Amino acid sequence: MARTKFDQLPNELVLNILGYLTSLDAWFAFHNLNTRLNNSLQTSSMKIDLSLCRRFQCDFTYRYILPRLQNPFAIRFCPRIMDESTYQFFIELKSNNVEYKLQVLTLTHITEQSMNIIAQHLNRLINLRSLTIMHDHEEFYGKFINTFMNTNMPRLVYLTLGYTERSSSLYLYEGNLDRLRSTIPNIQNFILKVPISFNTFHRLLNVLPQLVSIDVHLTERSIDEIKKNSYNRDFARNLQKLVMTINGIIRFKIIEQLLRALPHLHTFWLSTFICDNSYGTEYQDGKVWEGLIRKYLRNLIDFRLNVGLESTQSISPADIIQPFRSSFWTKEKNWCFIADRPENDVDTIELYSLPPPVNSKIIFRPNVQWVSNSSNPNFQSVRMLGLLPTLDRSASRTARNRRYTNVTTLHTASVHNSNHDYDASIVFDYVDLTKVRNCIISVSEFIESLSVMINLTSLTIRCYDGNIEYFKRISSPIYTLKKLFLSKSMHCYYYNRNDMKIITHLFPNLEYIELRISEFESLPILMNGLPHLVYAIIYNEPEVIDEEHLKQWLHKKEPIMKFMWSVEDKKLDIWFDE
């Protein structure tokens, strides 16, 4: 069989191969090898990711990639603490005359300072069609959104605004909503990951009647009565997809009144958790939903629920699922639902659809009884799982089995009872841990299960109390792990030099890390032991580490190890160049 040279492959195959590489890797590998490859690179669809890259990679992008782009492109950028890099980013777009070619822009971990810079330059991106801005910290009244409202983006069609971390009780101030009419006059798809009241949401739909799709997080606030005449014929007349997450208690009749005014809706996803069973039983009532859909939502083709409601002695999962066994659900719509009682801390009954709403966490305990309106439910559509420990190991396999084969994000809950236990062998009967890419651990005993997760790329540990034995139980290094978050421990544990040696051994390919250190000597071990590290956020124990001594050491090492750094409020940020 004759060997085929890469040069002799048809253009379609060359572009296909380039598609398996990141834009930076493709340009590093093939730029300036020959004219044909240069043409392929310059005319291919570009998605440039600068969210976690070294400084020289940014410089390479500005010098070699941007000046040669011929087609519209997308870019992802994360300034972190380097606000001057945000300014340089927009200046490079302008100087290379590619502002008008940028169609998709994603900005993550934005600070207040960088947001001010961004707002000054967004107006120049005249052909931008998709924009995502994720702020680094929660702000009162969503201040960064008000800053965004001072821009003018007439061609924007897709918009996502939110916080990098999951938001809590902070909510968006609605006073300036009217300005969105001029800021984003042609927006059609809006994802707002900042909590808003129902009244703000209602007003938002009136301000942006052209919306086709909206994803909102509603929070419990005082709700003024929405008059029936406010839902006129033109209300949200173009809306076809509605995704809602409710934090707190909003009475069902408020949501029902809204849905009655949306006859063109073809997709509706709802996620909510109600810890008071005196409110919201209708959210789990199949008869109520059936009547609402039959009469008012006749165009609905995609209906998904994930509702947790405080249980009562008189109602069981079987009672909840019974109305969903009607022919409307099982034959006419063929929509599958699951109900169980996982005996979590607030003792809820969980009702969810298959597939569930995207990015909605399903609460699961391995050995509890569950029921479904389908004789053969398929759990492959579940991607995010909130894993509770096994209640009684002796009864761990008595429940009807269900297998989650495609979970990519796994959350483990804290253990508050000695009868509760995490056993990786039992969990593996229910969850394919080899598919997990993102894991959040809140109980130390589960750390040893990491060795099974052969595709893990991001890990957050919120429970570590200094017992290094949990890490020692990991049988071999996890080479796939790229991001590690150790600073969010409930115990605020500070890692010492011995901890650092074990961490750098177990996770040798880390590119990003957040942690607390208890002694200065931990820092060089971390920096020398992780050759692929790009960015680190390190919190210092103030009583032990002298800040001036730290700054002197950083100044001394900066030209040798090639990094940029900033120390502020006992927090050290380091951006590595090589």
How is the chain split into domains, by residue range?
A: 236-357, 361-366+399-415+424-577
Q: Which of 88, 37, 82, 35 is nearest to 66 (CA)?
A: 88
What rounded mean pLDDT belongs to the chain? 86
336 falls in which pLDDT band (50, 70, 90)? very high
Radius of gyration over every alpha carbon of the chain, rounded to an integer in angstroms: 26
Positive/negative CA dihedral, 388, 391, 397, 401: negative
pLDDT of residue 405: 93
pLDDT of residue 196: 87
**Average pLDDT, integer, range 341-358:** 90
Residues β-bridged to residue 218: 196, 246
Q: Of 195 and 418, which is predicted with more confidence?
A: 195
pLDDT of residue 257: 93
Q: What is the pLDDT of residues 63-122, one digit of tens each?
A: 989 998 888 999 999 876 556 678 889 999 999 999 999 999 999 988 888 888 899 999
pLDDT of residue 510: 97
481 in Cβ contact with 510 (< 8 Å): yes
Q: What is the pLDDT of residues 201-246, one digit of tens each?
A: 999 999 999 999 999 999 876 565 566 557 787 899 999 999 999 9
Q: Which of 312, 300, 229 is nearest to 270 (CA)?
A: 300
Contacting residues for 5 by C-beta, under 8 A, at least 6 apart: none
What percent of the chain stands above pLDDT 90? 45
pLDDT of residue 491: 64
* For residue 169, pLDDT beyond 70: no
What is the three-class DSSP state of 571?
Answer: strand
Residues β-bridged to residue 567: 572
pLDDT of residue 442: 86
415 falls in which pLDDT band (50, 70, 90)? low
* CA dist., res. 100 & res. 252, Å (int): 46
pLDDT of residue 489: 61
394 in Cβ contact with 369 (< 8 Å): no
Q: What is the pLDDT of residues 421-445, one digit of tens each?
A: 677 777 888 899 999 999 999 888 8
* CA dist., res. 200 & res. 111, Å (int): 25
* CA dist., res. 387 & res. 439, Å (int): 11
416 falls in which pLDDT band (50, 70, 90)? low
Q: What is the pLDDT of residues 261-282, one digit of tens each?
A: 999 999 999 999 987 777 789 9
Q: What is the pLDDT of residues 523-537, one digit of tens each?
A: 899 999 999 999 999
* CA dist., res. 532 & res. 510, Å (int): 6
554 falls in which pLDDT band (50, 70, 90)? confident
- Among 152-166, 187-201, 224-238, the least confident range: 224-238
CA distances for 428 relative to 142, 167, 254, 366, angstroms: 41, 31, 42, 10
Q: Which of 233-237, 296-300, 306-310, 521-525 has the highest mean pLDDT?
A: 296-300
Torsion, Cα 305 311 315 316, to 10 degrees, reads: 70
Residue 352 has phi, psi (to 5 degrees) of: -145, 155
**Average pLDDT, integer, range 499-519:** 92
Q: Which CATH architecture has domain 361-366+399-415+424-577?
A: Alpha-Beta Horseshoe (3.80)
Q: Describe the crossing of helices 11-18 and 35-43 by its angle, rounded to 10 degrees.
A: 60
Q: Of 511 and 150, which is predicted with more confidence?
A: 511
**Average pLDDT, integer, range 287-314:** 94
Q: Of 220 and 415, which is predicted with more confidence?
A: 220
233 CA to centre of own chain: 36
* CA dist., res. 77 & res. 108, Å (int): 7
What percent of the chain stands above pLDDT 70? 89
* For residue 38, pLDDT beyond 90: no
Q: Describe the crossing of helices 112-121 and 83-95 by its angle, rounded to 10 degrees.
A: 10
Torsion, Cα 343 274 380 159, to 10 degrees, reads: -150
397 falls in which pLDDT band (50, 70, 90)? very low
pLDDT of residue 138: 65
pLDDT of residue 396: 45
pLDDT of residue 344: 81
Residue type for 69, please?
A: L
Query: Tokens representing 83?
Result: 């606000």
Q: Which of 241, 239, 266, 244 is nearest to 255 (CA)?
A: 244
488 falls in which pLDDT band (50, 70, 90)? low
* For residue 398, pLDDT beyond 50: no
* For residue 320, pLDDT beyond 70: yes
60 in Cβ contact with 27 (< 8 Å): yes
* CA dist., res. 261 & res. 259, Å (int): 5
pLDDT of residue 394: 46
303 falls in which pLDDT band (50, 70, 90)? very high
**Average pLDDT, integer, range 543-558:** 83
**Average pLDDT, integer, range 140-156:** 83
CB atoms within 10 A of CB 515: 24
**Average pLDDT, integer, range 482-502:** 83
58 falls in which pLDDT band (50, 70, 90)? confident
pLDDT of residue 513: 95
* CA dist., res. 114 & res. 224, Å (int): 36
